Amino acid sequence: MSKKLQQNGLFESSRMMLPEHREAYILHQEQLAPRTRPSLDAQAAEEMSRLLSNSMVLGDQITISLFHEHDDICYTGRVLKLDRPARTLRLLTADGTRDLQMNLITGVTPAGEWLDE
């Protein structure tokens, strides 16, 4: 009997990998690795603060992008309450209200605009 057919020899002797399998493997490895939260510069933080305040005072619709290890989560709505000491905000969305942590916010845009990434 050939050595290739014994134990795990068949797999080990096969070194060829299809391009689509290689791409899928690379994508899978990227999804397994957790991302790090981006740091915001002062100008971006000030712009986000202005948009959050306008949403609360004027009732403007905004889209908030929250950091997550694998992919950002976006919510669209208007701010009902800002609690600066607790660093949270309450967002009224189409599905109801959501309490969000302000330290997880990576981007705020007026509703209907796309994020620059």
Q: Residue written as tokens 């905000």?
A: 89
10, 11, 37, 55, 110 from 15: Cα distances, Å: 10, 8, 37, 57, 51
**42-110 topology per CATH:** SH3 type barrels. (2.30.30)
| Six token digits for residue 72 | 């950002």
pLDDT in tens, the chain (117 residues): 566 556 665 555 556 778 898 899 888 887 777 778 888 889 999 999 999 999 999 988 999 999 988 788 999 999 999 888 999 999 999 999 999 998 899 999 998 754 444
